[in-house]
Amino acid sequence: MENCRLGDVGVEGLLCYLPENDTLQVLRLGLNEISAAGAARLADGLRGNSGLRSLSLKLNSFGSKGCEAIAHALQENRSLATLVLGANRLGDEGMGPLGGLLAHNSGLEELHVTSERIGASGMWLLAEGLAKNNSLLSLNLGSNGLGKSLVEMLCRGI
């Protein structure tokens, strides 16, 4: 469903099926103009879902508030293995919820947080979560302009 311009209304339509659907394993909702409010509604559906293994929400621009809702919902969801959040304007503020997700979720194996302009404070928050995580196998932080010092900070968290 990528690039279908679903918006928040389309997300609302998915909520009829998502919470109790245990057969859908991959959901790609990139480029769908999902706002922070839409991400919060999607988070409600993720809480009750036990079948979804991969979720892509790249290029929606829902910001740190939307990220916070998704991250909190996924702390309760142990089935999701892959989460793609690139280019959602998360910034440093969005890394706090993601750090919390990494600290509390034991099912997530792959996380993509590309093109988010992560600075030192955001990297620190992410590194704190990584230090407590033992399930993540792959972390993609491409196109964030991290530089040597931020990569070193992240490695200390691992």
List, for residues 4-31, the tens digit of each pLDDT value.
999 999 999 988 889 889 999 999 999 9
Q: What is the pLDDT of residue 156?
A: 74
Q: What is the pLDDT of residue 157?
A: 66
Q: In what order do the strands lie in the sheet with 26-28?
A: 26-28, 54-56, 82-84, 110-112, 138-140
Domain assignment present for residue 16? The answer is yes
Q: What is the pLDDT of residue 118?
A: 92
The residue-averaged pLDDT of 107-132 equals 94
| CATH assignment of the domain containing 153 | 3.80.10.10
Domain assignment present for residue 1? The answer is no
Burial class of residue 72 in the structure, from the number of CB atoms within 10 Å of its CB (0-12 exposed, 13-18 middle, 19+ buried): middle
Number of domains in the chain: 1
18: containing domain:
7-157
CA distance 50 to 85: 20
Q: Tokens 């245990």 correspond to what residue? A: 22
Domain assignment present for residue 39? The answer is yes
Count other Cβ atoms within 10 Å, centred on residue 100. 19
Domain assignment present for residue 124? The answer is yes
Give tens-digit pLDDT for 39-56.
999 999 998 899 999 999
Domain assignment present for residue 2? The answer is no
Q: What is the pLDDT of residue 82?
A: 98
Domain assignment present for residue 145? The answer is yes
CA distance 27 to 89: 21
Provide the mean pLDDT of the chain. 93
What share of the chain has pLDDT > 70, as a percent? 99
